[in-house]
Amino acid sequence: MERVSFVLHINPQDQAQYIERHQAVYPELLQAFGEVGIHTYSIFLHEGTLFAYMEVDHYQSAMDQLAVHPANQRWQQFMGDMLITNRQGTTSEVIPEVFHYHN
């Protein structure tokens, strides 16, 4: 299992709407997460920076499968007006893990 974290950015004035939209994530998208091997997925928000964390069987495989899944495509289109494109031309950037404690 892989632990993956990534960052995304939104305009701070969009925070309330971003949170509101995530109160009603499409059930078929949540089902797709499980089908592609995502076991846990959290998003944390701090002043326009989103920190996402997931535990997934195979990250790249899951992302490839979600990229063509209709529910994910619909969700990405719905959320696309809020996400800021980064210097790599994408909306998310995987960040390296530097410490992990598990008991």
Would you please indicate which residues are annotated as catalytic (active-site) residues? 22
Contact, 13 vs 101, CB < 8 A?
A: no
The region, left, alpha or beta by phi > 0 then psi within -120 to 50, assigned to residue 83 is beta
Residue with tokens 């495509």: 73
